[in-house]
């Protein structure tokens, strides 16, 4: 029996706390989807390869200083410059697995606890971006995160920032807009294999639904 043509690819986002294994799991999931016969592309934000992305990267490496609002808007612009590519890729039936998206955008900027940079302010420039079909949130306890070793040396890799980021991700659940509801929480405390299996069992049914046309064309 011929397979039905795919309506569009699914847009799957992986979010989570630092050291939760996000990047490893993005690769693992993309490989498994590819082996199941699908077209798949991985993306990550920030995309440090564009001129805007290079400005962000310099900031994260403390090679430049920027106002909190300015860098927030650059992170957002770094997503907007990819919108056409995202839409074209999904339209040709290719699934996208994306390492971080605007959930990180809101949560990290607000974690700076700048009194003039609320989570609502942070959300505004993200409004209208393509809405993911599923967001996998890799959750990691503070204790488990500590066991996985120290911080790197980029700007946000401090225990104060990480604590605030965790609190903000939890608080997303209470935002009346749908951010919190988008997040499918998966415990990242297990082995790479265990976490990979948990992700796979959540993601595949959603990818199949989207391929068959069961999605709403929505934006943030
Ligand atoms: P990576 O370590 O994943 O390269 O991220 N961040 C990310 C923000 O502050 N805002 C955003 O919009 C995004 C996508 C998270 C580098 C750091 O950038 C943070 C960690």
The pTM of the full predicted model, rounded to 2 decimals, is: 0.94
User: Ligand 1, from 42, 46, 117: best to mutate by most atoms within 8 Å of Cβ?
Assistant: 46
CA of residue 213 to ligand 1 center, whole Å: 31
Q: CA of 103: how far to CAs of 8, 108, 170, in Å?
A: 23, 8, 11
pLDDT band at residue 146, thresholds of 50, 70 and 90?
confident
Residue 43 pairs in a beta bridge with 98
For 149, half-sphere exposure in the C-beta direction (CA atoms, 13 angstrom radius) is: 5
How many Å apart are CA 53 and CA 78, to the nearest integer?
A: 6
What is the per-residue pLDDT across 20-77, written as a single tens digit (0 to 9) for each? 999 999 999 999 999 999 999 999 999 999 999 999 999 999 999 999 999 999 999 9
Task: Output the CA–CA distances (angstroms, integers) from residue 142 to 80, 169, 170, in the order listed.
Answer: 33, 13, 13
For residue 46, how far is its CA from the centre of ligand 1 (angstroms)?
6
Strand, helix or coil at 216? coil
User: What is the per-residue pLDDT across 67-123, written as a single tens digit (0 to 9) for each?
Assistant: 999 999 999 999 999 999 999 999 999 999 999 999 999 999 999 999 999 999 999
């Amino acid at each position: 029996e011929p397979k039905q043509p795919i309506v569009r690819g699914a847009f799957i986002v992986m979010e989570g706390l630092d050291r939760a294994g996000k990047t490893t799991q993005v690769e693992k999931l993309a490989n498994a989807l590819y082996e199941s016969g699908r077209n798949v592309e991985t993306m990550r934000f920030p995309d440090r390869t564009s001129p805007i992305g290079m400005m962000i990267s310099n900031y994260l490496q403390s090679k430049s200083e920027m106002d909190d609002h300015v860098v927030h808007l650059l992170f957002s612009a770094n997503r907007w410059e990819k919108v056409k590519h995202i839409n074209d890729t999904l339209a040709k039936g290719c699934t996208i697995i994306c390492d971080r998206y605007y959930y990180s955008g809101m949560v990290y900027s607000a974690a700076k606890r700048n009194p003039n940079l609320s989570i609502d302010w942070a959300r505004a420039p993200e409004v209208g971006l393509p809405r993911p079909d599923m967001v996998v949130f890799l959750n990691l306890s503070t204790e488990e995160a500590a066991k996985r070793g120290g911080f790197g040396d980029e700007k946000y890799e401090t225990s104060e920032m990480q604590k605030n980021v965790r609190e903000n991700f939890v608080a997303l659940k209470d935002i009346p807009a749908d951010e919190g509801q988008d997040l499918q929480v998966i415990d990242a405390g297990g082995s790479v294999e265990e976490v990979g299996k948990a992700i796979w069992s959540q993601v595949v049914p959603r990818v199949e639904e989207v391929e068959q046309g069961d999605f709403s064309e929505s934006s943030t």
